[in-house]
Structure formats: structure tokens, C-alpha cells
Chains A and B, each alone.
Chain A
């Protein structure tokens, strides 16, 4: 998954209302599929994606179509991820963490990684072609990127045991499918640079993210996988070091930043990159901005290659203070091999002093913008039967053979709001009290005291000093 910010720890709970239209085959009742996809990255890191899909029939039925008034979109821009996020997530797995691939989910290893992404998707799935009844599908995914290069003393080789400090001994007994996939694609190189052991029982080829990939497949339900030893400890050795420059850049990626100075105004910018050499494609950009950033919609500017790029569709819902955020949705055409910048200016609002978060000087998080696009393929893919193909390929469903669907989340932003001095009310009370007291004091003195002239009685010393001064001035002494 081409994530623009691999370091952002991001937990997303997406409740997808809407039917998964691609499933046509009759699914089994109460089925579980689990799989682990290991992708060695050219940098020497290893990305591991766990996917668990539980499907069950329920009497909980959808009523008619989805009423769009009940559609809700919510986002928590940032949450510090810790094992507390993993424990309830693991509880949802039928085998908990006792058997199958979930044995590898050891919190102390998973949270010492350079990237961590955890998701729960729940959606209704048609049980038959006419969609009379639906099943529910719970899909849990977890992606981590292990920094194998630095933790492995400069070696890029890795094994399951080195990454998770566990090995796989069995499949979850409840699972109907349990696979481990290892990406052994050659990335355009002539000779094989990777060696996987034990040797895979079979290989699988697919077009993922517009690129042809080869996977070594290990079927955990097949006893031959464990032949020889009781556990499966996948190992991968590099025969020759690949040069990092050959890393494939995704066709669509994006960045987001906030610019401007001072505490009054600022600008939100989203930069969209289309690196496809010859195809343009449209992107749906969704931004939710909290109400305390007051957007100036007239400053919305979309520029590609120095020229204005008019979006073919804009939907804007203005914010209401303390009630709802701004919602801005646009369909933008990205020309081939181009960079498009979407920027909008905003003004920072003043909050009530009780509305500030406990650490207001840290800043306020602004949720990432969401990009949805059908990205064209370079290579033609045949339409697959989604029920039978591996789970990870359904993460990037293709609408037809020429494109695949991608949803990207940019990084969340941190925006500083003008923060008051929170001791100010007390200071104001104290200051006003003092000023009032001072005025009152002089007033009181004026009104209650009597003033009359009095001959000053001077001491001898004073008279002596005065006479000296008078003599200097040439005035007769007192």
C-alpha cells in the first residue's frame, strides 16, 4: 500500500456501508480465512501484512438501500498506538492469539517497528446473486514494516523467528484457508536475487497495484508444508544486493502540509503526484477540516504544471461552530506525469478557554485528506474471481483489467492555534483589584484628611546644608 507517510501510526476504523458488489459465488456459512503476506522491500525492510476475514450469516438485515442521511464519516486524526489497541483487536479473532497466524502477533515485536497500521472493516456481503439476504464480513488487517537492515547488523536476511520471535506451527483449526505469501518478484532483474527456504509448495502470480508480482505460497492446512520439522520458520536470503534506486514509485502518491506564518492565517496544501508515464486519471479528494480553521473557499486553488486545473465536481459543506467540520470533496483530473497542488487558506479561530485541550501549545491535529482513485495499470490483468483469489488482492480491487482502485490517506497535520495565557482571568482580577484599590486610596485620603500649611521645622543639619547651597547661589542665608 502506497502510504505517503510510512511513519505515521494510524489506526483507522472504517465502517463501510454499501455492498461489496464483487462477490457472486455462494460463500460458506461462518467462514474464516487468514493469510500473511511478506514483502521484502528493496531497502532491506520487510513488510508483513496480516489479514483475517470472518464471514457469518446473521438475521441482522439491511433495510432497503442505504439512506445517505444516515451516512457518517468520522476521523480521529491521531492516536498514540500501543498494545491497548492490539488486545481488543486480537479478541475479535476466532482463534484469539492461540493458534494459526495470530500466534505471531506478539505486541512487543509489533510495536517496535517502523510502521504500524491496524484496521477493522465490517460490511454486508451478498449471499447470492439476487442479494436477497446478506452475510456480514469482518476483515481485520495489520501491516507492520520491520527494519530488518538495522536490527540485523547490516544483513538484509530475515526469518519469521527474527521478526516475530515465534514460528508458525499450525493453521487456525477454524480457518477454511490459511496461507503465507512471500513476494519473490524479480522486479525486472534477470537472475533470481532472492532465496526462500523452505522451498514453497507453489507460486502465485497476480497483478497488484498495477505491477506483476510473483508470490511463494505456503498452505498451512497442507501437512506437506510442515514436513521435516514441526514448525514453519520462513527464511529469506539475498543472493546479491539489489540497488535501491530501482525501487518502484507508485503511480499515485500525495503529501500534505500547512504553510504560512503567524497565528492568524495559514494555508493548507495537498500535493498530488501522478507518476504514470502516459495516462491521466481522476482522483476524488475528500478533506474534513475542523471548524476552528475557518476556510476561505474563494482562495481554493488547484494548479497543475503552473496552470489552473478546474475540478469537474465540487461539494462543499461549510462548518458550523462547535457542531460540524468543513467538508470539501472534489473530483480532480490528474494529467500524466504531473504534480497537482490543491491549496486553500484559512484563518485560525479563537476558542473558548475551556475548549482547549490539556496541552494546547502542542497544537491541534487536522485529519488527513482521503484520496480515492482508479489508477491505470501498466500491465493487463485478468478479472479475478474474488472469492477464490487471495485476500490481499481484494485490497486493491480492479474495476476492469486496465485499472485498480486505491484509497490513500495523507499525513495528519498539526496546526497551532492562538493560545491564551490561562492564568489571565486571575491576573485580570488581581490587577483590577489593585487599580481600584489605588484610586480608592487617594480618593479616601482626599476626602477624609484635612490639609493645612505648616511652618517646616528644619533641623540644624538641613539649615546648614541649605545655607551652603544658598551661598553658592548668592542668595542671603536663612
Chain B
């Protein structure tokens, strides 16, 4: 193209010069009168060249171009070094007597506490705890006159702001009997916490620090985001063993399998339907905020573990050592076979009833001690529990022995494994904190909030990686067709991303999370669009091999006549100089 344009300019520039030269020559050298036919030929050649350059080349370029819709490249490249503000709205309510009178008069006001969260990559995260201080209303005062903190919490009127991610902290008088004497604060199962007040001049600052401590325990912490952003944090921050939750996805499939490797001796029954309804469903209904869940169950016979357990003569039992556990899963997984049918990640929970020859079977941890739950889990895969049959059942001549699985301990183990797999481990609190027991759903509301925070940030990070790599790829390979629908998906992802970031900084977690999911869906759709691959396999050299029969015969005469014209011109000028 560049060459063609140059050629065109040269042709246009040369023509007047040529004419001027002719005129001069005609005046100066009547002897060298040129043949009019020759001049006409020259003009024709120049015409051809101009046509080819001005009309032919652009026409060819336009008609053979790959269609590439415009993408917001600059915006995508900015994503990488984005500053994400995560705002946590905290409403702090002071009860009568929890604050010196002097400080009370300053109320209500708002403090913002902003902190940087260190990350390895260019993306920056800032957590903002926005604390709105106010005095308690009369109904709240009444509620807090109850005897215990649990009762008080139940009696509290529903807070005005009880959305996902928000916190309500009540400051109670320092000597209040609501809390046991050795506890400084109480964290409830919902989004409410109680903190003891303080005295003295610095009362507000002391209380502020306490509130921040409580708020961080209940909400965003580095740990929570570390678990979400796994590979983006500096390595030393990563607690390798425990923090590998399932990747954020639009849905999950949960499979409960009962493995009975020895149907000759055991006839195992489990009431999985009832157990799922009673224990798993409530938990899932809360977790449905982060995705769709579907559950199924199966019974597999003759499904063996890949490892032969070791006999322990001292306790006349069999043991599975910790180092052999990784080999247990693979042979079993071949039989599970639900992975093929689902687009979503599958989480497996296996209940293994060991064969009679190998029971009782116990799992040992790294130190050689028995694992009390007799279960283990594999991050991002699922959990396995060994269920030993009561040995007294074997005192019979009738085989198979009927075994009815007691689902309560089993579901307890599976639920706590589920918490680990989803990245909501049982919270660990400082000593002087009192932790309320979880509600009937099995998950505290603020734990859910933490999870949603983490998932929202993880989603945004995924969008950033997807869009940047897509932009890089499209930039690198010019042959890829970018259709309008791909472009519109990219724009939609960008819009949703910006909305999510905006809502995060405004503290609307629920809206932000929804937007972040949309952004992930759109960006993945754009990235995996099959139309991106259509023209990838037409390399440039092959295309030009096809054009050569056209280009070569057309270009050669034009170039040759151009060279001839130039050479003749130069010769004529030299001749003129000689004559002069």
C-alpha cells in the first residue's frame, strides 16, 4: 500500500515536469522534435499507472480485507492497572452510656478508613470501611436491655440497611452485662456485631479501632481476597494448603456417590434424598447467591480405591496413610462419570464403605494419628469419607449384612468440606471475641458476604485476564475476523465491568456481583466465539501465491514503462545541457 501510494505521487509529480521539459526541448531543440505518437504512449502508460494505483489498489485492498470490528483496545489495556475500591458500609450505633457525653455531641458523622491491599500485579485494590456513627433509637435501646446478647440481637428492629455486604455494629456500655466479662465483642450470625464502649479522652479513637477490628473480622480481609485472587498475590501471602477454593463459575454440579466395593457382604442403604433436603438444601439456598447448583446421587458397586490399605496389627484395623491419599481418587473417578454431561464444575462427595476384608479402615494424617472424621478432601475436586460398618453386624450367618448409613455425621463432614471447597472455612476469631452460632442454614450471613466479595473480585480479575489476552491475540494475529457480535460482547463485558467496579466502590455488593458475573459471561463468550477461528488458516504467503498470476503481469509492464520514461527524461535533460 505504502509503495503504491508513493508510486502514485511520483507519477503525479512527474507529469508536469515532463511536459515542461518537452516544451523547453521543443523551443530549444527543434532538431529533436519528438514523435507525437511516442508522447501519447507515454501519457497512456502514466494513465495506466495512476489508474492502477489510485483505483485498483484501493479496490483490491477493500474487497479482500478481513472484517474487524472496532474494539476498545485502549480501555482494555487500562484495565490492567486498574484501581478497584471496595467500599464496606458500616453503620455504628452508640447505645446510651457507651460514649462520654463530650463525644456524643459530635454524632452523627462518618469516618472513612481506606487501606491498600498489596497485590503482585498492576491491579490495585483498596478496601474502604465507611463508618457512619449515630446514636441508637428508642426501639434499639429497648432491645438492648435484654439479658443476653442473643436475645438482644433477636429483639433488634430490622436495620434499614441490611443488604449484602453491609454491617451493623452496636457499641454497648463498657460495663454492660450483655457480654461475658472476658469478651470484648460479639459477632452474630447475621450482619450484626456488638462492641464494648470505652471511657476517657481518646474514647472515640479506641472505639474506632475496635470497630475496625470487628469489621475486618466480618468482612473484607487480605485473606479473603487472597483466596479469591490465588495466583495474583505475592507468594508468601498465599497459604498453600488451605486456600484453594473452587473457581468462580456460573453454576456447580454436586454429586453424592455411595461406593460399595463389596456388595456380597454389605447391602448399604442411605437416605440421600432426605439428607440433601434437610442439610444441603438450606445451605445451597443461601449459596445460590453465587451460582446455580444442581445435585444428584448415585450408588456404585465394585468401585475400589486405588490403594491397598495397610494392616495395623496393634489395633487390628486397616489404615490409609496420608501420603497414599492422592492415589485414591483417580481409579474411582473413572467410575464416577458425571463430568461429561455438565458444563459446570463438578464437586464430588464420596462415601466409601470399605470391603469386609479391609474394615475397619481409618485415615491417618501426616503425623500418623487417626483423622477423627475419617474423611479428607481434595481442593477443587470434592471430598471422600470412609464409613466403617459396625463390627458387631458381622456376627451373623446371613450375608449381605444390611447397613443403614447414619446420615447426620456424614452430612456434617460433607457440609464442612463444602465450606472448605467454596472458600468459607470455619472462622477463627481472636480470644476476646464471642462468635454466635450459625443460623439453621449452616452459614452466617456475613460469611456469605465475604464469599460474595471474594467472588466479585475474582470475577473482575478473570474479566481482566480474558479481555487483555483477547485484545493481545487479536492485535497479534491480523487475520482474525472480528464480527460485530464478538465486538458487542466485548463492549458489554466492558460496560458490565465498569458497572461492577462502580457499584463496588459505592458499596452495593449485590448489584456489583451480578454485574461482574455478566462481565465474565460476556467476556468468555467473546473469547470462545468460534467465528474467531474461521480465517486463521490463510497465511499471507499463500494468499499472495494466488494473486501472483494477476499482480506480476500487470505490475511488470507498468514498472518497465515507468523506468523507461524516467531514463528517457534524464537522457533528454543531459542532451539539453550538452546543447547549452
A88 to B42, CA, bound (A): 79
A441 to B48, CA, bound (A): 11
For A86-121 the 0/1 string (1 means CB < 8 A from B) is 001001001110110000000000000000000000
A438 to B554, CA, bound (A): 9
Q: Are A437 and B557 in contact (CB under 8 A)?
A: no
Is A161 in contact with chain B by the CB < 8 A criterion?
A: no
8 Å CB contact of B400 from A173, A429, A450 = A173
- Nearest residue (CB) in A for B48 is A444
18 A-B pairs (CB sep. < 8 Å) = A95-B263, A96-B303, A99-B302, A174-B301, A430-B549, A433-B546, A433-B549, A434-B549, A434-B550, A434-B553, A436-B550, A438-B553, A440-B553, A444-B557, A447-B48, A448-B557, A449-B41, A450-B41
Within 8 A of A (CB), among B25-71: 35, 37-38, 40-42, 44-45, 48
Residues of A within 8 A of B335 (CB): 91, 96
Q: Are A440 and B554 in contact (CB under 8 A)?
A: yes
Q: Are A94 and B301 in contact (CB under 8 A)?
A: yes
Given the interface pairs A173-B263, A433-B550, A436-B550, the reply to whether A447 lies near B400 with Cβ below 8 Å is no
Q: Give the A interface residue count (CB, 8 A).
A: 26
For A439-475 the 0/1 string (1 means CB < 8 A from B) is 0110011011110100000000000000000000000
Is A422 in contact with chain B by the CB < 8 A criterion?
A: no
Q: How far is the CB of B336 from chain A (nearest CB, A)?
A: 10
Q: Are A448 and B302 in contact (CB under 8 A)?
A: no
- Nearest residue (CB) in A for B548 is A433
Is A313 in contact with chain B by the CB < 8 A criterion?
A: no
A173 to B303, CA, bound (A): 14
Task: Kindly state the interface size class of chain B when it binds its partner.
Answer: 20 to 34
Is A73 in contact with chain B by the CB < 8 A criterion?
A: no
Q: Are A441 and B35 in contact (CB under 8 A)?
A: no
Is A70 in contact with chain B by the CB < 8 A criterion?
A: no
Chain A contact residues, CB within 8 Å of chain B: 88, 91, 94-96, 98-99, 173-174, 426, 429-430, 433-434, 436-438, 440-441, 444-445, 447-450, 452
Q: Are B302 and A95 in contact (CB under 8 A)?
A: yes
Q: How far is the CB of A49 from chain B (nearest CB, A)?
A: 23
Residues of A within 8 A of B301 (CB): 94-96, 98, 174
Q: Is the interface of B mostly helix, strand, loop or mixed?
A: helix
8 Å CB contact of A448 from B45, B337, B400 = B45
Residues of B within 8 A of A91 (CB): 335, 337
Residues of A within 8 A of B302 (CB): 95-96, 98-99
Given the interface pairs A88-B337, A173-B400, A438-B553, the reply to whether A433 lies near B547 with Cβ below 8 Å is yes
A88 to B554, CA, bound (A): 62
A321 to B547, CA, bound (A): 35
A305 to B549, CA, bound (A): 65
Residues of A within 8 A of B183 (CB): none
Residues of B within 8 A of A444 (CB): 48, 557-558
8 Å CB contact of A426 from B40, B546, B561 = B546
A452 to B37, CA, bound (A): 10
Q: How far is the CB of B239 from chain A (nearest CB, A)?
A: 38
Residues of B within 8 A of A440 (CB): 553-554
Residues of B within 8 A of A430 (CB): 546, 549
Q: Are A445 and B549 in contact (CB under 8 A)?
A: no
Residues of A within 8 A of B48 (CB): 444, 447-448
Is B115 in contact with chain A by the CB < 8 A criterion?
A: no
A28 to B44, CA, bound (A): 97
- Nearest residue (CB) in B for A440 is B554
- 3 smallest CB-CB distances across A and B, nearest first, come from A433-B550, A437-B553, A98-B302
Residues of A within 8 A of B550 (CB): 433-434, 436-437
A440 to B48, CA, bound (A): 10
Residue among B302, B335, B554 with max Cβ neighbours from chain A (10 Å): B302
Q: Is the interface of A mostly helix, strand, loop or mixed?
A: helix
A433 to B400, CA, bound (A): 82
Given the interface pairs A430-B546, A430-B549, the reply to whether A450 lies near B37 with Cβ below 8 Å is yes
Q: Are A437 and B263 in contact (CB under 8 A)?
A: no
Residues of B within 8 A of A94 (CB): 301
Given the interface pairs A96-B301, A430-B546, A450-B35, the reply to whether A174 lies near B263 with Cβ below 8 Å is yes
- Nearest residue (CB) in B for A94 is B301
A88 to B337, CA, bound (A): 9
Residues of A within 8 A of B264 (CB): 99, 173
Residues of A within 8 A of B263 (CB): 95, 99, 173-174
8 Å CB contact of B38 from A429, A436, A450 = A450
Q: How far is the CB of A94 from chain B (nearest CB, A)?
A: 5
A208 to B246, CA, bound (A): 56
A426 to B549, CA, bound (A): 12
- Nearest residue (CB) in B for A441 is B553
A127 to B148, CA, bound (A): 56
For B107-127 the 0/1 string (1 means CB < 8 A from A) is 000000000000000000000
A173 to B44, CA, bound (A): 97
Residues of A within 8 A of B44 (CB): 447-448
- Nearest residue (CB) in B for A437 is B553
A438 to B549, CA, bound (A): 10
A95 to B299, CA, bound (A): 11
Q: How far is the CB of B534 from chain A (nearest CB, A)?
A: 10
A99 to B48, CA, bound (A): 86
- Nearest residue (CB) in B for A444 is B557
- Nearest residue (CB) in B for A88 is B337
Residues of B within 8 A of A96 (CB): 301-303, 335
- Nearest residue (CB) in A for B262 is A173
Q: How far is the CB of B171 from chain A (nearest CB, A)?
A: 52
Q: How far is the CB of B22 from chain A (nearest CB, A)?
A: 16
Residues of B within 8 A of A447 (CB): 41, 44, 48
A441 to B37, CA, bound (A): 19
Residues of A within 8 A of B45 (CB): 448
A435 to B21, CA, bound (A): 38
A198 to B41, CA, bound (A): 107
- Nearest residue (CB) in B for A434 is B549
Question: Beyond A430-B549, A447-B48: 10 further Cβ-contacts under 8 Å?
Answer: A91-B337, A99-B302, A173-B263, A433-B550, A438-B553, A440-B554, A441-B553, A445-B557, A448-B41, A448-B44
A298 to B68, CA, bound (A): 50
- Nearest residue (CB) in A for B336 is A91
Within 8 A of A (CB), among B293-324: 301-303
A94 to B261, CA, bound (A): 11
A98 to B331, CA, bound (A): 14
